[in-house]
Amino acid sequence: MSKKPFSKIIAGTMTWGVWGKDCNTKQMIDLMNCCLENEITTFDHADIYGDYTTEAAFGEAFSESKIDRSQIQLVSKCGIQMLSEPRKTFVKHYDYSASYIVWSVEQSLKNLQTDYLDLLLLHRPSPLMQADEIAKAIEKLKSDGKIIDFGLSNFTPSQTDLIETKTKVDYNQIKFSITDFEAMLDGSLDYMQTHNIRPMSWSPLGTVFKKDDEKSQRIKKIASEFASKYEVSIDIILLAWILKHPAGILPVCGTADPVRIANLMKATKVEMEMQDWFALWTKSAGVPVP
């Protein structure tokens, strides 16, 4: 088990299961192979996706695909306890006890039909989390060879500091896009660069294609011009904008469309000019750079 670099674009699997396209086994295998054919080797999961069903659906497809485990990287998250009768939960909450983290990872490994995760993330911060409990679980999981790296998701710098008093944090998956860019202004991305933490971004296209408001229209107009200039589609321009940031952000793209997947890595080839980058930010913000 050796540490492999993650692909510059990560495949988000949340919509592959019942929370989205509800792919059958063959469709999931086709999506995996489509990703690999286009140099996307890293797959992002969470135990809760599909109401605790998507990991197992992916795992069955992965097993049937005969894809070499060493050729891919699997990321998963734990900690959120959804309302679930089998789990005897009556309120959504977070559990970061050492025993729960270890149990949750073991469930993910069983569901994904693999011996290890390349990366485990704590899904969202909890006011009740204890850094020593978390460190105890991570130390055991690493020593048992069940995870390679450890990180966080949606954690602030101060929350990350708390966890890092006991164990090293390698990644933090945050909301970041052309429409949600606070992390580059509030110190979050500066903090990650300073502490050698690699950022991932979920929902990397933001609300551009979800809301038909004035902001989206402004962004689409200028992104369309740049799409012509750089000879790519608008969504690729928006990903290239993220990739230009010096923090080395890894976008997690949650599409189950093979045509879109085949285009994603084009974003890594776009050499966006500095003024174009600022022009996009300006259109999103609606005001000139201070």
Vertex 172 angle, CA 168 and 174, to 5°: 165
- Looking at residue 234, its pLDDT comes to 98
H runs (alpha helix) in the chain: 25-37, 49-52, 54-65, 98-112, 131-143, 157-164, 188-194, 214-230, 234-243, 258-264, 274-285
pTM of the model: 0.97
- Looking at residue 40, its pLDDT comes to 98
CA dihedral 62→66→69→74, nearest 10 degrees, is: -20
What domains sit in the chain, N to C, each tagged with a CATH number? 10-212+234-265 (3.20.20.100)
How do the pLDDT tens digits run along the chain, 290 residues long?
A: 668 899 999 999 999 999 999 999 999 999 999 999 999 999 999 999 999 999 999 999 999 999 999 999 999 999 999 998 888 899 999 999 999 999 999 999 999 999 999 999 999 999 999 999 999 999 999 999 999 999 999 999 999 999 999 999 999 999 999 999 999 999 999 999 999 999 999 999 999 999 999 999 999 999 999 999 999 999 999 999 999 999 999 999 999 999 999 999 999 999 999 999 999 999 999 999 98
Give the DSSP per-residue string, 39-78. T--EEE--TTHHHHTHHHHHHHHHHHHT--GGG-EEEEEE
- Looking at residue 2, its pLDDT comes to 66
- Looking at residue 1, its pLDDT comes to 62
- Looking at residue 269, its pLDDT comes to 97
CA distance 92 to 35: 33
- Looking at residue 86, its pLDDT comes to 82
User: Residue with structure tokens 């969202």?
Assistant: 124
CA distance 217 to 63: 43
- Looking at residue 290, its pLDDT comes to 87
Contact at 8 Å (CB) between 72 and 42?
yes
The answer to whether 49 is a known catalytic residue is yes
Contact at 8 Å (CB) between 208 and 239?
no
- Looking at residue 4, its pLDDT comes to 85
158-191 burial, b if ≥16 CB within 10 A, otherwise e?
Answer: ebbebbbeebebbbbbbbbbbbbbebbeeebbeb
User: Residue with structure tokens 């469709």?
Assistant: 27
- Looking at residue 101, its pLDDT comes to 98
